[in-house]
Amino acid sequence: MLRASHIPPVATPALSALKISLIPALSLSSSLPHLYKLSTFAPLHNFLPKTAPPNPSPISFKRFLLMLGHHPCPKASFSSGSGTGGGRELLVQHLLVKEDDLKLLLELQQRISGGGEDLSDLAVEYSLCPSKEEGGMLGWVRKGQMVPEFEEAAFSAPLNKVVRCKTKFGWHLLQVISEREESLLGEIQADELHVKIQDPTFAKEAQLIDVREPDEVAKASLPGFEVLPLRQFGSWGPEVTTKFDPEKDTYVMCHRGMRSLQVAKWLQSQGFKRVFNVSGGIHAYAVRVDPSIPTY
C-alpha cells in the first residue's frame, strides 16, 4: 500500500539510478552507489537563476529543481511532431539493499506481506537508492529505461504485489502501483510549429504553454501561448492537470528550448499523453520563421 505521507503534492518524476539514461543527482552521499549516467540534457538548475522569490505554494521553485535535478527525468523519445507512444508505462516504487543483505530483504518482504507494513515506509528507512526520499517512488517508467533484470520483474509483476529481484546494484523489493498507456514526448521545429499555427483549428485542438518570465515575454511572444513562468511554478504546478487537458496535444516553449524541455518532461510525468517541446524556442522561431520577432 502506498501511503499519502510519501506522495509529493504533485506526482514527481522521481526516478532512481536504475534508469539507463539519466541526469546526475545534485547531491549524493559518497556511501551510496554512484549509478547515474549522464543524460544528453543538463539539469534544469543550469538554465535558471540561482535564486527565486519565495512562494507560499505547497510546491516551491526549489522543489521543482529537485524534481528535475535530484531525481532524474524519463529518457525522451523524440519525433518530428507526430507519432504515438505505444506500449505500457508502470508507476513503480521500490527499495534497494546491498547484494549481501538478502536476509534483510527477506525480513522486509515478510514485514510487508505478513505484518501489513508499507514498502514506502521501509524504503525511507532502509533503501540505498536516492528515491528513498520519495518513499521509493520511481515515477512512471517504460521498457528500455531500466536495467534488464529490474525491467523484467516490474513488467511481469501483478499489480500491487511486492516482488523481489536482483540486479548488479543489489537486491530490490518492487511494487507496481498503477499502469497506463505509454505517452509521447516529442520535439517540433520552429517551421513545423509555424505551419500548424496557420491552421485555424490548431489553437482549439492544442494547448500552448510559454514558460519564460514576464520580462522575456514582453520582449518577444507568439499569439496563443499561455504564459506560465517557471519561477512561479509553485502557483501553477499543483493545478496543471485541472487547468489543462492531459489528453490534448501540448506544446511548450521557452527562449531556446532548454527550460521548456524540462517542463515538457515533467508534464509527461503528470500524465499528459502527447507533449512537444519547441526546439530552439522563440529564438529559433524568430531566426528561421519570422524576422519581425525581436531576438534577445
* Active-site residue set: 254
Strands (DSSP E) found in the chain: 88-97, 137-142, 162-167, 170-181, 184-188, 206-210, 226-227, 249-253, 274-278
Give, in order, the Cα–Cα distances in Å from 199 to each of 118, 172, 225, 269: 51, 51, 15, 29
Pairwise CA distance, residues 63 & 233, whole Å: 10
From first CA to last CA, the distance across the chain in angstroms is 50
Cβ atoms of 214 and 235 within 8 Å: the answer is: no
> Angle, to 10 degrees, between the axis of helix 119-126 and the axis of helix 102-113?
150
